[in-house]
Structure formats: structure tokens, C-alpha cells
Amino acid sequence: MNTRYQNLAQYFPSIRKEEQIRKEIEENLELSVIFDSWRKDQQEDFLSICSGAKGVKMLYDSFFKEICAYIFYSLRQRTFVEYVAEFHIHSG
């Protein structure tokens, strides 16, 4: 068993091995059609992400870059954090 998988699966039991994911796809005709329509590299990326072997760099998304550009948008970031965390941030 892959050590990385073993460690992640210990904390996140919903993470499955690539073989388990592939089997589930093969058992469902609709999923098989979609999966088979992808290029080989896309299939491998999908399986790697779903199995926890590869992460998704969500913080590099342009949405987060805009919100988290504190130097330029400190009020926007503070407002966003206050909304998400449901508490007021006092500026010093």
C-alpha cells in the first residue's frame, strides 16, 4: 500500500485507492462513458486527485488571488473573512 495513501486514509476514511475508484467507474455505464471520453493524462489526474495522491491547488485560483491580495484589498479581505467566520474584525 502506498504510504501517502495509508496516511491520508487514516485521517480521511472516504479516500479510496485508485483501483477502487476505477472499479466503481467500470461498474457504472454512465461513468464509464464519461471517463473513457477523457484523454489518458486526464484520467490519470482524476484518479490521482480522487485517491489523494495529488492535490488540487485551489488557493492558486484567480478568485482567491483577488480576495487574498491583502496589500491592495484589505477592506475586501476583512469583509470576506467577517462574512465567512461570522465575526467582526477590529482594525488596529
pLDDT given at position 38: 95
Of residues 46 and 57, more confidently modeled: 46
Q: Quick one: how far is CA 38 from the chain centroid?
A: 19
pLDDT in tens, 51-67: 888 877 666 666 666 66
User: How is residue 76 written as a grid cell?
Assistant: 475586501
**Helices and strands, number each (H, E), in the chain:** 6, 0
HSE value, Cβ hemisphere, 13 Å, CA-based, for 63: 3
pLDDT of residue 29: 95
Give the chain's end-to-end CA distance (angstroms, integer). Answer: 51
Residue 15, SS3 per DSSP: coil
Note the pTM of the prediction, 2 decimals.
0.55
How confident is residue 82, by pLDDT bands cut at 50, 70 and 90?
confident
